[in-house]
Chain A
Amino acid sequence: AQSVTQLDSHVSVSEGTPVLLRCNYSSSYSPSLFWYVQHPNKGLQLLLKYTSAATLVKGINGFEAEFKKSETSFHLTKPSAHMSDAAEYFCVVSEAGGYQKVTFGTGTKLQVIP
């Protein structure tokens, strides 16, 4: 069975400071991992994905995430927050093989303070 835990339901940062959104997963197989962003009243947009290639994954809008197998983590970071980053972020795990089941985390709401 697979699961994903987003450790913070809310994160608040000042504009221009670093962002860290934490995600831990459990999976019986080699997982694929994703981060999605949802702006208010919008659909979800793929930020980045890890699929067993490089462990440091770069995504859109300056975000990146590092896959750490030993820690079963896939934390999302950005060096400097922008007001437009305020949104809900979802960590997602998908197990390889067959018709992969995808599990969404419960989301982290990022607030950016001017």
Chain B
Amino acid sequence: DTAVSQTPKYLVTQMGNDKSIKCEQNLGHDTMYWYKQDSKKFLKIMFSYNNKELIINETVPNRFSPKSPDKAHLNLHINSLELGDSAVYFCASSLRPGYGYTFGSGTRLTVV
């Protein structure tokens, strides 16, 4: 049983397209996150939801929109993809904000 699962694992798409990445956790955690990891392995938080409520929204282009239909799911929709969006996107969850994270295995997005 995967605790935090992301789909798809790999995503190759053309510039200008719209794509979504899905994330689900079965740990009963209240808080979920999206992180972007660039080619230098630097991890930057994008969004955080606590019980379906947005609590962290870092400086991220409006083209990125998170959606949390329930506290077990946090999806990421990206409009008008750009070359610079190529990265690995990680979903994570924690029992509550500030507790240790459980990460998904990542989605490698390549924009061509």
Q: Is the CB of A102 within 8 A of B104?
A: no
Bound form: Cα–Cα A96–B40 in Å:
29
Q: Mark A14-51, 1 if CB is under 8 A from B, else 0.
A: 00000000000000000010101010001111100100
A106 at the interface (CB under 8 A from B): yes
Q: Considering the complex, which residues of chain B in the window 13-50 have a beta carbon less than 8 Å from any beta carbon of chain A?
A: 40-45, 48, 50
Closest Cβ–Cβ distance, residue B2 to chain A (whole Å): 10
Q: Do the beta carbons of B105 and A42 come within 8 Å of each other?
A: yes
Provide the residues of chain B in CB contact with A42, threshold 8 Å: 105-106
Contact, CB under 8 Å: B43 / A90: yes
Residue B98 CB within 8 A of the other chain: yes
Tell me whether B101 is interfacial, beta carbon within 8 Å.
yes
The interface size of chain A toward B, counting residues with CB under 8 Å, comes to 24
Residue contact A101 to B56, C-beta cutoff 8 Å: yes
- On whether A99 and B103 interact (CB within 8 A), knowing A88-B41, A106-B42, the answer reads no
Contact B98 A44 (CB under 8 A): no
B61 within 8 A of A: no
A27 to chain B, nearest CB (A): 12
| A114–chain B nearest beta-carbon distance, Å | 24
Residues A46 and B102 in contact in the complex (CB < 8 Å), given A99-B56, A106-B42: yes
Do residues A99 and B41 form an inter-chain contact, with CB atoms below 8 A?
no
User: Is the C-beta of A100 less than 8 angstroms from some C-beta in chain B?
Assistant: yes
Q: In whole angstroms, how far apart are the Cα atoms of A94 and B43 in the complex?
A: 14
Q: In chain A, residues 65-114, which have Cβ atoms closer than 8 Å to a Cβ of chain B?
A: 88, 90, 94-96, 98-102, 104, 106-107, 109
- B residues in contact (CB < 8 Å) with A: 4, 40-45, 48, 50, 55-56, 90, 92, 97-98, 100-106
Known: A43-B106, A44-B103, A102-B101. 9 other contacts (CB 8 A): A32-B98, A43-B4, A43-B103, A46-B101, A49-B100, A99-B56, A100-B97, A101-B45, A107-B41
